[in-house]
Amino acid sequence: MAAITAALVKDLREKTGAGMMDCKKALTEADGDLEGAVDWLRKKGLAAAAKKSGRVAAEGLVGVATAANKASVVEVNAETDFVARNETFQAYVETVAKIALEIGEDLEAIKAAPFPGTERTVAEELTHMVATIGENMNLRRVRVLTVKQGAVATYMHSALRPGLGKIGVLAAIEGPGEAAVLETLGRQVGMHVAATRPDALDVDAVDPAALEREKAVLSDQARASGKPEAIIEKMVEGRIRKYYEEVVLLEQVWVHDGESRVRAVVKKAGVTLTGFVRFHLGEGIEKPKEDFAAEVAATAGV
């Protein structure tokens, strides 16, 4: 059997764009023959999938899954919203969310896990779908929340089907009580989080850098009024309280009654809100600007 050198693997990667492990496997199957390895990758659809890997994938689905005292949320991206309606893609997102319940938040460990019903890993199954469906796809992120006693409720805004949609929320409720009651409260918290987009659970969890930026802006605004520094300091303190009411979940006004603070609602229920996660599909992904007129002109050769 021919020796599979690093240089040979590198040559195949440059020629096809396929992943290192796929290239190594292809060369092994082809007994070190470069062109034979290229053909092997093409037959598996891996070369075609690699060519799509540079394309922006900002659509897709967010999926949630639950088990005893825990829940997971994952985001899997594709290039178009059309793929989100593909049943194979939907089943993949649901399965990955369930796998996350067992493995946790280690994305690489999830990708390396066996994909049920196949001889492929989670990552290999995604590559297989890329080759089959014809769009770039990406398993982007995952979070898992757990509680010792209580419930981790899920909420999916505008669900495409149960557990799948574009905005998924987890809410961890720690404390005693009937499961159904805790689930209801958690779902209400999830709806609130979906609507208000808080950045932190409590004041202590606010990003220090973001807080300092806010203080700097507020201080400059206050100084523009020409008031003394002592007055400016009190003005900034008051505005920071308003800032907390905007970005801190426990300080926000409960959307369900428009009066209570979330902190008071949770305290009245006799439980503790220990964490939340909000995934909004595609957030933070820079999408290319589309110029339809230019695209048509280019196609027509104008």
Condensed to tens digits (0 to 9), the pLDDT of residues 130-178 reads 877 778 899 999 999 999 999 999 999 989 999 999 999 999 999 998 8
The string of pLDDT tens digits covering residues 57-104 is 679 999 999 998 999 999 999 988 888 999 999 999 999 999 999 999
Write out the H or E segment, with its range, that includes residue 148: none
Predicted confidence band at 16 (pLDDT cuts at 50, 70, 90)?
Answer: low
- In 3D space, the residue among 203, 299, 298, 275 whose CA is nearest the CA of residue 246 turns out to be 203
Mean pLDDT estimate for the chain:
86
H/E stretch holding 230 reads: helix 229-247
- Lookup: tokens for 166: 């574009």
* pLDDT score for 229: 76
Considering the entire predicted model, what is its pTM?
A: 0.76
- Which stretch of DSSP H or E encloses residue 74? strand 70-78
Each residue's pLDDT tens digit, 213-251: 888 888 887 777 777 777 877 888 888 899 999 999 999
Q: Quickly name the fold that domain 207-247 has.
A: GTP Cyclohydrolase I; Chain A, domain 1 (1.10.286)
For 6-52, CATH number?
A: 1.10.8.10
Asked whether the predicted pLDDT for residue 293 surpasses 80, the reply is: no
Quick check: helix, strand or coil at residue 198? Answer: coil
Burial of residue 73 (CB within 10 Å: 0-12, 13-18, 19+) is buried
Domain boundaries, the chain: 6-52, 59-203+249-280, 207-247
pLDDT at 286: 75
**Through-space distance between the first and last CA atoms of the chain, rounded to whole angstroms:** 55
- The listed CATH number (3.30.479.20, 3.40.920.10, 3.40.50.300, 3.20.20.150) that belongs to domain 59-203+249-280: 3.30.479.20
Phi (first) and psi of residue 165, to 5 degrees = -175, -155
**Per-residue model confidence (pLDDT) at position 299:** 45
Backbone angles phi, psi at 137, to 5 degrees: -135, 155
Position 30 scores a pLDDT of 86
Please check the confidence at residue 289 and state whether its pLDDT lies above 70: no
State whether residue 79 is helix, strand or coil. Answer: coil
